[in-house]
Structure 1
Amino acid sequence: MGKFTKLRVLILAGYLLPILLSFGSSIIVSIKLTSLKEMTDRLNSSRDVAEQMGRLSFNISRLSKEVRGYLLEKNEETAENFDRAWQNFQETSAALNNLIEDPEQQANFAELLAKVDELHDLDAQLINLVNNDERSLAIETWKIGKGREFADEIAALLETIRNRDEEIVKEKVEEQKEALDNLRIVVWSSTGFSLLAALTIGFWIVSIIVSKINMQATAIATAANEIATTVEEQERVAMQQATSVNQTTTSMDELGTSSQQSAEQAQAASEAANRVLILASNKTLTQEEIVSNKISLKEQMKEVQRQIQRLSEHLKQISSITNAASDLANQTNMLALNASVEAVRAGEHGKGFGVVAAEIRKLADRSRQSAEKISALIIDIQNATNSTVAVTEEGTKAVENIVEAINDVALNIQQISLNAKQQAIAIQQVVDAMNSLNIAAQESATGIAQTKTSTQQLNQTAGNLQSMI
């Protein structure tokens, strides 16, 4: 079984073995037919012997007849008939000498030839006496001679040879009949054996082929089931990834909106800081004008107090905007953190926007730090403003400190605005990457679904193959 590793070898063997068995049966039948032909040839030879013996007997009888006729009447035609009969006898005896194969027949035939030769010598002597005009002597010699004795002996030998030939023919016929019966038995036996062997070998080969196909079909079905299980697991993971990517995309959209709002509020804070700076600058110019025009200190302080009150109101607005910017920075930081987590869950496809989310967190931290600095500066400005109201002698110095602080506020707010814009750009890039990742995840899920369908078809095909077997 180890030699037949391929189905085509087994199938070829299934066709070849019955052919070989049929060929073997044909050889056996051919041998039997050859033997039967030899028997038939021997039977025909025996029949030829019987036929030739009949001719030989006829020629012997003719010799005796022609001699008697010549004794009664000398006639050249009779002499010629005698010679012709003797010649035919010699030809027939030569043919019989080649045909007779039985030893007993050969011995009888040799004795017959000897007797016929003696009879021929006697007949030749009688013919010579007649030719010498001694007919009476020839007749007396024939009467007292051994002619009749030779004739009786020859007749007995011919009868013996005929009987033996009949026995031989009968034996040959029996042998031929037995050979035909044996041939019939051999033909049916070889045919039955070939058929039985072909069925046995065919069943064996079919069993091997079915076993191999069944084994391969089972392996295919097992592999198809394993593939189907793996594909279902991959499909579930792909769907989870697609859901995670969608959630991350939604979070990034919210982060982009928040970043845009943060940028707008930072821009508004920057404009408010500029207005405060302009107001502070105008306050400084107004004080210089009052000094140059010798306005009274009371009016100066009132004017300073009014300007400081207006400045305090603007500072409150700036503080509110700064707090909003700080809150937006915290929200941005949280959304960026969520985006990083979703990027980790997305695997290899999420590494790119994971790095961008980390940069967004850094920008949010910087915005928060700038907002904290602004809050600290605003507190300092408010403290300075309160000190200015209480201590008017230090008004000018406080105003200068306020102007300097407002400059710092304006710069920090501008930095926040710039950071917010960069955050918006980075978030838009993350959104684009997430959209691409979402499309890839959907395509992957679709491909896995198609693979699942193909695997199910393969499993069904394996089942059909097993059912066919």
Structure 2
Amino acid sequence: MKWTIGTKIGAGYALALAMLVVLGTVSYRNTAGFIEAAQLRAHSYQVLDNLNKVLSALKDAETGQRGYIIVGEEPYLEPYQSGTAAVNKALQNLRNLTADNPNQQHRLDALAPLIAAKLSELKETIDLRKSKGFEAALQVVRTDKGKQVMDDIRKLIAAMGNEEKKLLEQRDGEVKANSETTIATIVYGIPLAFAVLALFGFLLTRTITRQLRESINLLSSSAAEILATTTQVASGAAETASAVSETTATVEEVKQTAQLASQKAKYVSDSAQKTAQISQTGRKSVEDAIAGMQHIQEQMESIAESIVRLSEQSQAIGEIIATVNDLAEQSNVLAVNAAIEAAKAGEHGKGFGVVAQEVKSLAEQSKQATSQVRALLGDIQKATGAAVLATEQGHKAVETGVKQTTETGESIRLLAESIHEAAQAATQIAASSQQQMVGMDQVALAMGNIKQASVQNVSGTRQAEVAAQGLHELGQELATLIGRKVA
């Protein structure tokens, strides 16, 4: 099947559009996957944070219970009350965050009654302290029922935390894979598309130029024939009437040749107009592609800002953890001092010694929890730094893509302008061909009336000669436009 010039140019623009669509689709999917994986990582961190809040709130509640049992004053119940409320809130958050994870939901189902039992044990001892005194509450504490429940709670929370950490590792791998795929698409896809389009453009230009050259050669040949024929008619205008019929036949042949030239010129003009329209459509497609690349660049900048804010919040959490660690150290020192004073007091200081030992135990637990949180926070900051670096690299790659797409759009714009100029020239050729047809009609009419108006015949022949010369010159100009002269 032989393609027209317009079809070939349309195929070129279709190829360019298809490659841009493929590159844009791949980049969009990879970027969307990157964003989704980042959101899932943040989701896992929220689950871990709420698990820590559950443990912390239970410890606060236990601290308030023990303080009230020892002292018996209402202000010591404030940590118990705030811890109870915080536990319920953290559990509800965990329910919502793990709604799509059946394993975690089952663990929460097992965790909820344990927490309820722990809170019930705390409330029981507090009520006993209020109604029956210190010894009754202390007997319940010494049963170690609350400690066993607390150990079970810690095991369940540790299991949930381990599963979230595994999910974090998996999502980190997804983020890395999406980032590498996006970079590979931009680094290798755009140069490959540029090379393919450059090769196709070269072949397309070569094919179109060859077809135009053939049409111009035919047009120039026809114009030369017309010029030669009209010159002969002008020189033989004074011959006898016996040559009139032969001259008339020659003019008729010239007229048919001019009609053929006019038809070809009109075909060239129509093809050039279609080409110009297709080039405008391609230019609009490239502008849309540039706008899409700019939108991707804006999304990459938004991701970078979110990661920077996450890093700042991690640093603030680190400062808070340092303060908590200092408080634990101070509590440990106070507990040691209190134990010493209790030993000095003898039998009267035994109860105070128990309190000192509990305070020391709580201080040690707080110090251990702070160390664990600090280690987790260090991992978060490292991951955040890696994400910032990857985002900056992605941002630079997107900027390069925007630049190259803009340069491609500028090249297509220049090509569209050249095609538009060629279309105008083809239109002028078609108009000149039409004028030639009018001149040849005048020649035919003059030859029919040559016996009555010899002077009119000579004048019409001269007009035909001028029109043929103009057609020949236009053919030469069109040949010059495609970069090659016609003999």
If the length of structure 1 is used for normalisation, what is the TM-score?
Answer: 0.52
**Once the two structures are superposed, what CA deviation does each residue of 1:40-77 show, in whole Å capped at 9, x if it has no partner?**
22111101112212211210111211121121122222
Does the aligned pair in 2 maintain the 1:217–1:465 contact within 8 Å?
no
RMSD: 3.5
- The answer to whether structure 1 residue 61 and structure 2 residue 63 are counterparts is no
Q: What is aligned with 1:122?
A: 121
Choose 1 or 2 for highest CA Rg. 1
Evaluate the alpha carbon distance shift between residue 50 and residue 346 of structure 1 in structure 2; reply closer, same or farther with a 3 A threshold.
Answer: closer
Mapping of residues 378-393 of structure 1, within 5 Å: none
Figure out how many residues of one structure are paired with residues of the other and give that number. Answer: 282
Q: What is aligned with 2:222?
A: 223
**Once the two structures are superposed, what CA deviation does each residue of 1:225-254 show, in whole Å capped at 9, x if it has no partner?**
43344345x25xx42553x5xxxxxxxxxx
The 1-side partners of 2:245 and 2:102 are apart by 109
Residue identity in the other structure for 1:191: I
Which of 453, 457, 460 aligns to 2:473? It is 457
Shift of 1:102: 4.1
Gaps of 5+ in 2: 248-449
Q: What is aligned with 1:27?
A: 25
2:132 match: secondary structure: coil
The 1-side partners of 2:27 and 2:203 are apart by 27
**Larger RCO (CA under 8 A, 6+ residues apart):** 2
Residue identity in the other structure for 1:457: E
The 1-side partners of 2:16 and 2:461 are apart by 56
Which sits farther off after the overlay, 148-157 or 436-445? 436-445
Q: What is aligned with 1:78?
A: 76
Does the aligned pair in 1 maintain the 2:220–2:472 contact within 8 Å?
no
Residue identity in the other structure for 1:181: E
Gaps of 5+ in 1: 245-341, 350-433
Mapping of residues 280-359 of structure 1, within 5 Å: 344=242
Evaluate the alpha carbon distance shift between residue 438 and residue 144 of structure 1 in structure 2; reply closer, same or farther with a 3 A threshold.
Answer: closer
Residue identity in the other structure for 1:75: E
The 2-side partners of 1:41 and 1:466 are apart by 57
Q: What is aligned with 2:158?
A: 159
**Once the two structures are superposed, what CA deviation does each residue of 1:414-440 show, in whole Å capped at 9, x if it has no partner?**
xxxxxxxxxxxxxxxxxxxx9997755
Does the aligned pair in 2 maintain the 1:60–1:85 contact within 8 Å?
yes
Which of 235, 246, 253 aligns to 1:239? It is 235
Q: What is aligned with 1:399?
A: none
Residue identity in the other structure for 1:69: G
Structure 1 consecutive aligned stretches of length 4 or more whose deviation exceeds 6 Å:
346-349, 434-438
Mapping of residues 388-407 of structure 1, within 5 Å: none
The 1-side partners of 2:177 and 2:246 are apart by 92
Does the aligned pair in 2 maintain the 1:49–1:165 contact within 8 Å?
yes
Evaluate the alpha carbon distance shift between residue 348 and residue 201 of structure 1 in structure 2; reply closer, same or farther with a 3 A threshold.
Answer: closer
Residue identity in the other structure for 1:464: T
Evaluate the alpha carbon distance shift between residue 180 and residue 347 of structure 1 in structure 2; reply closer, same or farther with a 3 A threshold.
Answer: closer
Mapping of residues 1-20 of structure 1, within 5 Å: 2=2, 5=4, 7=6, 10-11=8-9, 14-15=12-13, 17-20=15-18
The 1-side partners of 2:454 and 2:125 are apart by 141
Residue identity in the other structure for 1:454: G
**Once the two structures are superposed, what CA deviation does each residue of 1:265-300 show, in whole Å capped at 9, x if it has no partner?**
xxxxxxxxxxxxxxxxxxxxxxxxxxxxxxxxxxxx
2:30 match: secondary structure: helix
Shift of 1:6: 5.5
Evaluate the alpha carbon distance shift between residue 90 and residue 209 of structure 1 in structure 2; reply closer, same or farther with a 3 A threshold.
Answer: same
Evaluate the alpha carbon distance shift between residue 33 and residue 73 of structure 1 in structure 2; reply closer, same or farther with a 3 A threshold.
Answer: same
Shift of 1:169: 2.0
Shift of 1:158: 3.1
Shift of 1:167: 2.9
Residue identity in the other structure for 2:222: A
Evaluate the alpha carbon distance shift between residue 231 and residue 49 of structure 1 in structure 2; reply closer, same or farther with a 3 A threshold.
Answer: same
Which sits farther off after the overlay, 196-205 or 43-52? 196-205
Evaluate the alpha carbon distance shift between residue 346 and residue 109 of structure 1 in structure 2; reply closer, same or farther with a 3 A threshold.
Answer: closer
Evaluate the alpha carbon distance shift between residue 75 and residue 5 of structure 1 in structure 2; reply closer, same or farther with a 3 A threshold.
Answer: same
Evaluate the alpha carbon distance shift between residue 197 and residue 452 of structure 1 in structure 2; reply closer, same or farther with a 3 A threshold.
Answer: closer
The 2-side partners of 1:441 and 1:124 are apart by 127
Evaluate the alpha carbon distance shift between residue 213 and residue 348 of structure 1 in structure 2; reply closer, same or farther with a 3 A threshold.
Answer: closer
The 2-side partners of 1:441 and 1:90 are apart by 112
Q: What is aligned with 1:259?
A: none
Shift of 1:212: 2.7
**Once the two structures are superposed, what CA deviation does each residue of 1:335-378 show, in whole Å capped at 9, x if it has no partner?**
xxxxxxx55467799xxxxxxxxxxxxxxxxxxxxxxxxxxxxx
The 2-side partners of 1:65 and 1:435 are apart by 132
The 2-side partners of 1:145 and 1:213 are apart by 99
Does the aligned pair in 2 maintain the 1:225–1:459 contact within 8 Å?
no
Evaluate the alpha carbon distance shift between residue 126 and residue 227 of structure 1 in structure 2; reply closer, same or farther with a 3 A threshold.
Answer: same
Evaluate the alpha carbon distance shift between residue 215 and residue 83 of structure 1 in structure 2; reply closer, same or farther with a 3 A threshold.
Answer: same
Q: What is aligned with 2:49?
A: 51
Shift of 1:25: 2.8
Q: What is aligned with 1:173?
A: 172
Does the aligned pair in 2 maintain the 1:46–1:168 contact within 8 Å?
yes
2:72 match: secondary structure: coil
Evaluate the alpha carbon distance shift between residue 103 and residue 186 of structure 1 in structure 2; reply closer, same or farther with a 3 A threshold.
Answer: farther
Does the aligned pair in 2 maintain the 1:220–1:462 contact within 8 Å?
no
Does the aligned pair in 2 maintain the 1:218–1:466 contact within 8 Å?
no
Shift of 1:180: 1.5
Residue identity in the other structure for 1:32: N
Shift of 1:216: 1.4
Q: What is aligned with 2:357?
A: none
The 2-side partners of 1:463 and 1:191 are apart by 36
Residue identity in the other structure for 1:26: G
Which sits farther off after the overlay, 435-444 or 116-125? 435-444
Shift of 1:95: 0.4
Evaluate the alpha carbon distance shift between residue 439 and residue 125 of structure 1 in structure 2; reply closer, same or farther with a 3 A threshold.
Answer: closer
- The answer to whether structure 1 residue 145 and structure 2 residue 158 are counterparts is no
Evaluate the alpha carbon distance shift between residue 56 and residue 468 of structure 1 in structure 2; reply closer, same or farther with a 3 A threshold.
Answer: farther
The 1-side partners of 2:103 and 2:451 are apart by 119
Shift of 1:143: 1.4
Residue identity in the other structure for 1:122: E
Q: What is aligned with 2:93?
A: 95
